[in-house]
Amino acid sequence: MLVPDEAIDQCEMSYEAADGKKQKAAMDSFNDTGIMALICHHDIPLFFANIDTPGEQQKYSVALIEHLFSLIPIEANVVILYDVGCVLAQSLMKYDILSHNITSCIRFATTAMHAYGHEWACQLVYNPRIVKGLGLLDGEGMERLWSRFIRLIGIERSSSRQRRIWLIDRHTASIAKDMVNDLGDWLRCRLKKGIQDQGSAAQKVLDECEFTVSELWEQWSNQRAAQLSIRAHAPARLKKELDTVLALQTELDGSERALQGVRVIVEKSPASQGALDTLASLEHGHERLLHKVDTLYASLNIQDRFPELDGVCFEFVQTLLLA
């Protein structure tokens, strides 16, 4: 089920990671402004990419994904958790950035803590707590990894580019080795705290609930369908478009007043050829503006989106949408 574009646009404006032009470091002082990493399900770092642009552009995540698929079986399925996974997923659906062999094998989700900053419609599709099959996976392993890099910040501020890359590479290799050695403890902890403890708590809630699981699933499906419908998000788009219509309507009203004033003057006294030409020009301009308003309002397609508003004036429709 797709998320309406209006919701994705709001998510894109809310997060720095989605702003490819957001500059966090002085480009004239540093060759690279940051790094992006790809980690596995167990939070073990796999690959890094140098960020050498003002912002965190999508090309870095695309490059990491493409490199990953060059090393795994072609039929492998991959779930990618990213702060703005919704925005990246939309870009990959709209444009042929990655091959179909890759896009057909990947699913996107946002990270658990970052998800709450997204639009609710986005969370219905991309929140890992809601996505089927992800269980208690939070996707915040990247934040835990960055916390282990804090000690390098002060050192690398005065390091050369080559030394900085070497330090990051060696530190990453050390972290990865330790995490691989601790995988047994990691799995045991997840089994106990995740599957056993939280699974029991979830089952207790279901047992105490007065509804069957099938009834809950039915209501959940109905809620998702209603809140992901294009009509549910139409007011946000219509508000902006109606503002344009109302601005033109204001110009139209001003043109009407000017036209009436000239007509009164012409009727009261003999008019020169210049006055008649001015009147004809005003009438022609007024007709063009009127046609422009009608065309723009018709393009909003309000009658099809909201049949109950058919024939209602601009101002009243705007008042309803702003309420």
| Structure tokens belonging to residue 222 | 């109905």
- The domains of the chain are located at 5-227, 231-322
Q: Which residues contact 133 (CB under 8 A, 6 or more apart)?
A: 79
Give pLDDT, residue 197.
Answer: 82
Least confident of 65-69, 136-140, 166-170, 310-314: 310-314
DSSP secondary structure string, 175-217?
A: HHHHHHHTHHHHHHHIIIIIIIIIHHHHHHHHHHSSS-HHHHH
Range with lowest mean pLDDT among 128-142, 197-211, 217-231: 217-231
Residue found under tokens 């429709």: 317
User: Rounded CA gap, 195 and 155, in Å?
Assistant: 41
Label residue 318 by pLDDT band (50, 70, 90): low
Residues 70-92, mean pLDDT to the nearest whole number: 91
pLDDT confidence of residue 310 = 65
C-alpha–C-alpha distance, residues 165 and 142, integer Å: 18
Residue 83 has pLDDT above 70, yes or no: yes
pLDDT of 81 reads 94
Contact status, residue 238 vs residue 302, Cβ threshold 8 Å: yes
Q: Give the pLDDT confidence of 177-215 residue by residue, as tens digits.
A: 999 999 999 888 888 877 888 888 888 888 888 888 889
- What's the rounded mean pLDDT across residues 31-60? 89
Q: For residues 233 and 255, which has the higher predicted lDDT (pLDDT)?
A: 255
pTM: 0.67
